[in-house]
Chains A and B, each alone.
Chain A
Amino acid sequence: MALRVPADPRLRSLLERLDRPLYSTSVNRSGQPALWRVADILGEFEAAVDLVVDAGDLPGRLPSTIVDVSRRPFRILRQGALSIPPEALA
């Protein structure tokens, strides 16, 4: 199970209000690159989801880093926006 406490205060307040976790997954079909252009997202998924929050295009962003902390040494499962010094993984 992977967990994240979002940095975005609005997202956190939404989670507090819902009082339950939210699944979060990148906007793409499995195996495809994550979409960052609003136009692409609308074209591909608009009909499939209930709401699209448009914050403009988000170019050059990386997904979050996922680290397996269930056993030592920790392993990076997905290298994303946060880089972790190797010594911290031991």
Chain B
Amino acid sequence: MGSGGLSDYRKVEAGRGQLNANIEELKRINSGLRREVESLGSDPERVALEARQLGYFREGQRVVRFQGQAPRPSYFTLGALVRVQVPRERPDWIWKLAGMAMPLAAYAAWALRRRLGHTAVGVLGGRRSGKVSTPVGVLRGRRSGMVSTPVAVLRGRSSGMVSTPVGVLGAAGAARSMRIGAAEPGLADRLADLLAGGGVAIMPCDTIYGIVGPAPGSEAKLRELKGRGEKSFLQLIAGPSGWPASAASGCPNRCPLTGRARSPSSSR
């Protein structure tokens, strides 16, 4: 494409072939002329012929002229010189522009598709939770290899999926979790309901994120999640009052390990 492209190269190649043929022709003509020069210099008969043509005659010769059409003067045609077609400068900017625009267009199409995919899953998330604020997180979960979860299957079926019955989603979604922002209103109610019902959740636990589940009851589930053996789990308690009075009574107001005073709420 453009100047200096493949088609131009072919044209130049063709021109080169023609020029080579031209050179051969010129060589042939050249050798003919050389032979003529030689014969003019050495052959008396030839000299006489030429002289006669120019109107010189030997003594005793008579000239008989026939009037008629004069022979055409012949010229050597020094080969049919070819005109090499120099490729025209065609505007390159079209191709350059196309070369730049095509990847951009491809990227735009890809991004658009991705975006549409997000939106579709966002609608799903919204249906189930009544909150549309978490589509990206949901999608992330889906994309990272949990192919066996129901929503991933739905997503694979079609990217529009507005027509998917909500009932099916609700039923299928029982096995999957939802992300909820730490500042969402109603989070406490939801967590309490879920944990009271034996569910497990991931939430920030003072320091790092933790997987929490009701004690007792969720050990097996947590062990399965973690792939953990017999080691027991840390238990979070509201305060010493949540434990037998015998355990609580011995609890000083100052932490025996650090010497720090307990905050009023934690010493209840």
Contact = CB atoms under 8 A, between A and B. Distances in A.
A18 B72 CA distance: 124
Interface of B: 134, 137-138, 140-141, 144-146, 149, 175-182, 187-188, 190-192, 194-196, 199-215, 218-219, 222, 225-229, 232-240, 242-243, 256-259, 263, 265-266
A50 B194 contact: yes
Contact of A74 (B175, B181, B203, B257): B257
Nearest to A80: B207
Choose among B140, B176, B205, B215 the residue with the greatest number of A CB atoms under 10 Å from its CB. Answer: B205
Contacts of B181: 53-55
A1 B204 contact: no
Given A23-B234, A28-B226, A49-B211, A11 B202 contact: no
Choose among A5, A15, A34 the residue with the greatest number of B CB atoms under 10 Å from its CB. Answer: A5
Contacts of A69: 257
A8 B204 contact: yes
Contacts of A81: 206-207
A28 B206 CA distance: 17
A28 B208 CA distance: 11
B239 to A, nearest CB: 5
Given A8-B205, A25-B222, A51-B180, 6 more contacts: A10-B188, A14-B188, A26-B208, A42-B144, A47-B149, A48-B225
Contacts, number: 241
Contacts of A21: 214-215, 235-237, 242
A53 B202 contact: yes
A88 B195 CA distance: 36
A67 B141 contact: no
What are the nearest 4 A-B pairs in CB distance?
A: A43-B144, A46-B141, A55-B182, A53-B203
A24 B155 CA distance: 33
Interface of A: 1-31, 34-36, 38-39, 41-56, 58, 61-64, 66-67, 69, 74, 80-82, 84-85, 88-89
A41 B227 CA distance: 16
Contact of B212 (A23, A56, A66): A23
B192 A17 contact: yes
A13 B134 CA distance: 26
18 contacts: A2-B233, A3-B236, A6-B205, A7-B263, A20-B214, A22-B214, A23-B214, A25-B222, A27-B210, A34-B208, A45-B177, A46-B146, A49-B202, A50-B177, A52-B203, A53-B204, A66-B234, A88-B259
Contacts of A5: 236-240, 266
Contact of A15 (B210, B211, B236): B236
Given A14-B188, A42-B179, A67-B257, A22 B194 contact: no
A42 B234 contact: no
A36 B222 CA distance: 18
Given A11-B206, A49-B202, A3 B234 contact: yes
A84 B259 CA distance: 10
Nearest to B151: A47
Contacts of A16: 238, 242
B177 A12 contact: no
B199 A50 contact: yes
Choose among B144, B200, B206, B228 the residue with the greatest number of A CB atoms under 10 Å from its CB. Answer: B206
A9 to B, nearest CB: 6
